[in-house]
Structure 1
Amino acid sequence: MKRLITILDHIRLRDKMLLLYFLCVFTPIVLTNLIFYHVTSQNVKEQRIQDITRALEQTKIEFYREFEDAMEISSIFYTDYRLNEVLEETYSHPADYIAVYDTYLRRILNSTYSPVYHSVGGITIYTDNSTLLNSGGISFIDERVKSFPWYTKIPPGRQSKPIFVRTDDSADESTDEQIHPFSLIRRMNYFYSPSGREKILKIELRMSSIREIFNNLNLQGSLFLLNERGEIEYTNDPKVDINHKSVAYSTLKMNENTMEFKTSYVLTNNLNGWSIVAAVSRDEVLYEMQEPRNFALLLTCVNMLLPTLIIIWITRSLNVRLRRILKHVKKVKNQHFELIPGTESSDEIGQLTGEFNRMTLRIKRLINDVYVADIQRKNLEIQRRHAQLNALHCQINPHFLFNALETIRMRSLIKHEDETARIIHNMARIFRNSLVWNKDRVTLQEELELIRCFLEIQQYRFGERIKYEVQASSEDLDHLIPKMVVLTLVENASIHGIEPLKHGGRIEILFGHEEGQLILTVRDNGVGMSAEQVQRLYDYMQRQEEMGERIGLQNVIYRLKLYYGNRFKLIIRSAPGEGTEIRIMIPADRDL
């Protein structure tokens, strides 16, 4: 540290200001906005992926509802005893069948179910009973029907398990759909058939409803319905032809920029192993990330421009006046006692200028009025004046920073940026308090004011990510405590405990009084500390050594030892991922 200070002593003031600008303004703003952009972009990306996943799940559920409607109708037809009697009956004359059709079949095939289930496109019963008429939803099982691909897939014998296939027989369908419609086919053998007649139920789904389900507005990409073998049964991609041949999804050549989302049917009747896959362009998923990126760039430019202009303005004012003082100091070294022109200002540089002018006049008068022997005595006074100049020079930098904060706050108030002005005012109060060490102890009320200033700044930085609660009895506000002890613990809890958490956390500051002891507690639900770290802090309480360059909690322990010796007690409870609680018990002392 001493070597670093020595190096800084040889750097020009202008270069120091540039270094201060890059380290305290430029770099923090750039890093902060980069982190902001990264976090925001990740949140937008995750939200978009969740939206796509939910939309895909919704498509899966709605398609299954269409299928369930057909299954429900098939179960009703399958167990309809009256329907089975009508289909098994041998009619001696077509008029007899027509009478039965008008009284029963017409109602169930054309009126009852289709209006209720809007997803059903048509219901057809195939039978080998030649006494029925081939019309009105009744068809004969002949060689043409037996040649249909779906007919060959019906389980043989007494099995009644329904099958769900696309019916691609053009002779049987009168549709202009691009993709052959889905149909639920089931052998109707629930009742014993003494005649051994074959009866097959085919329920065709309305493809307009299927198409509406798969044209989900939240999925700007291609959707594929895959069977248990991974073959495409339906897609909204017109480039994929699945009418003339089976197409496996794995054979499709997707763009490298494509992201895939998949949801599957598990333990469902007839759709077990089926799945829905969405192929969405990565650009579509990341499209909404452009807005936070542009906002982050704009925010960076705004945050950079105003501080840069203010720092340049203030730095130039400091540099010009200090160089002018230096110029006249060099003239004094060569016994040219010239006064620095211009009106005196009220800041430290102005005071330094006034002191220099008064010193110059006095030296000039002493040289002219006093004997050479007396000049040697006066040289001591001159050296003392130079010491004062050096002391004033050392105060320039912190006071400059305080005045800069006050200038920014006033400009914020002028521009009605009240929140920014309040935060800068809090920073100035903390900064001013850190410069004033003329009293070592403060009241609990004064410490609470600084703590609230610091926590308001943290909330301004992190918003809802950080929450806090302060509990203190009004009877304890006049107790004296070492200055900035509790504030240091709150700062550690915020920076090392809460800030690393992605979703933020909570800080509790509690003050209590018990049996002549003042109890100070700072608790957070942050990342916590390991047992080794806690033990290392306890070890500092046992060591007897100089302050050195300790910061943070080490500084607090050292100062408590200076004030109270062995009369204070420190308890640390912490574990990784479970937060940290630090409790300090000190003798209660009031400001009398």
Structure 2
Amino acid sequence: MKKINDIKLRNKLLISFIFVVFIPVFIVGGFLTNELRQFALKDAKKQASANMERVKERTLEVMNVPLYISNNILFDQRLKQIVNTKYESIYEVVSSYREYNTFQSYRNLYNKEIVNIRFYMENSTLLNDWEIIPVDQQIKNSFWYTTTREGKGLTSWLYLEDETNNDHKYLSLVRRVDFLEYDTSGVLVINVNTKAFNLILSQEAQPTMLVDDQNNIISTNQPGYLGKKLNTIINSKKILAGQTGIFQGNSEGQPTHIFVEAIPLANSLNKVRIVSIITDEDIVGNANRFRRMGVIVAAVSVCVSLLLIYYISKLLSNRLIKLSEQINLVGKGNFNTRILIDGEDEIGQLSKQLELMVNNTRKLLNEVYESNRQKTLLERKQNEIKFKMMASQINPHFLFNALESIRMKAHISGEREIAQVVKLLGKLMRNSIEVGTGKVKLNSEMEVVHSYLEIQKFRHGDRLNYEITIDPLSKNIPIPPLIIQPLVENAVIHGLENKESGGEVSVHTKMKEEGLHVVVTDNGIGISEEKQEAICKLLNEQEEKEGIRIGLRNVHQRLQLTYGNITGLAIDSKEGIGTKISFIIPI
């Protein structure tokens, strides 16, 4: 630690910059670049898989059409009769062909999916009308014919030349059709429309191909690939061997990711695959560009930062050296030294504070004297306050003692009613004076309410009747003190004061799901709608103002300060009928 402290400030700043900025920037930059590359690769794989799935589904829709047609032709009784008949003349053959138009109907109906249907049959009496073709020796010796004859009725998907269409190559469904009644069989060939495949693949952004099991490129969105073998495009042995999945390889000299997926064809001797090629540059090209840009930006930022840190550290060190020299003069007792460093930064502020400290030192004795004088004055005033507080405690005790003497004298004189009222008044005053900032039980608050109503009952006689109903479940609920008595006082003073007879005040408590529900009701003069709106507005005012219902506002704001805005006073009054004031204390 001592060696570090001995290093000059300028060198410390340079070293800290290297460790705090330079190294972390390159570590984080390298990590983020690698993560960006992996994310790009993962996203490309996900997108390519989604594209392959879309191509597979649409291609399968096209290939299901010839499969459906071949299944129907298996049970075509008219075709079975035509190809198994031994004709005596050309006229008979032509007549039979003229009456049979099933192949033409399929071609017209599914012209987007297929282009031709041919049926090969070993019957020398047949004529070749490019739909029903008698088998010659060349056809017998062909690979596709012999393979299909041995296929036991399973379909094959082969890339074949169509001799009826200028030897143009098509992906074709080839299938043996057995005629058990005649113990014969023929071969059905249905050419799939290459345009349908080209339309599907043309919507893909990346090079995508349909390839048969002989690695012939059947269809592609790259015109230069059409008609070639797959091995001329890629050099992956696994793909050329027929494997599926995601592979890394080379395509036209570029590193690529190759996605291969087979089209699920039912009851087929071979398979057709979808091959999609995405170059690594396409996958991580943006990531590589960001990496290069990040390296350039980081290098420029580091160079600029080095120059700035060098310049700033030189300024700081020069100013600190000057400040150190001035502090040394002050340390030697020279309080007349001017300590001024330009600037509003911490060093400038430090110089100003040091200048202020030097000036204040000259006034130290006067300040100490003044401080002692003020301290003595403060202690004297505190003693006066304590004395006044003691005196203020004597007055209530004197008042309670006087009330007790009056009560005893009235009791001795037989004035029991007066004695009881004086007792209640003393109890009410003691509760009001001794109340603290804590909470009291509902029972204690109701005793205060009862004392107040008894005193008012003594004053008004039959003009006032009251009823207190307490839910047994609510007796021990803690509530703020003097929260119900002001509501009862308001009901008596403002509601019943001008009522000549029959005044009633009721206080009810009830435990509900939301909490303790307290209701104070009177049958007094009530409140007009205008005055009721003014009172509701007054309840939420923050500043103390002269006016009516100050007690209500005090209760309302104490409830909200204690329990939040979910509670507060609710006033429901009708002029000439009475007033109901309620509130809820959440439990």
Question: TM-score scaled to structure 2, two decimals?
Answer: 0.49
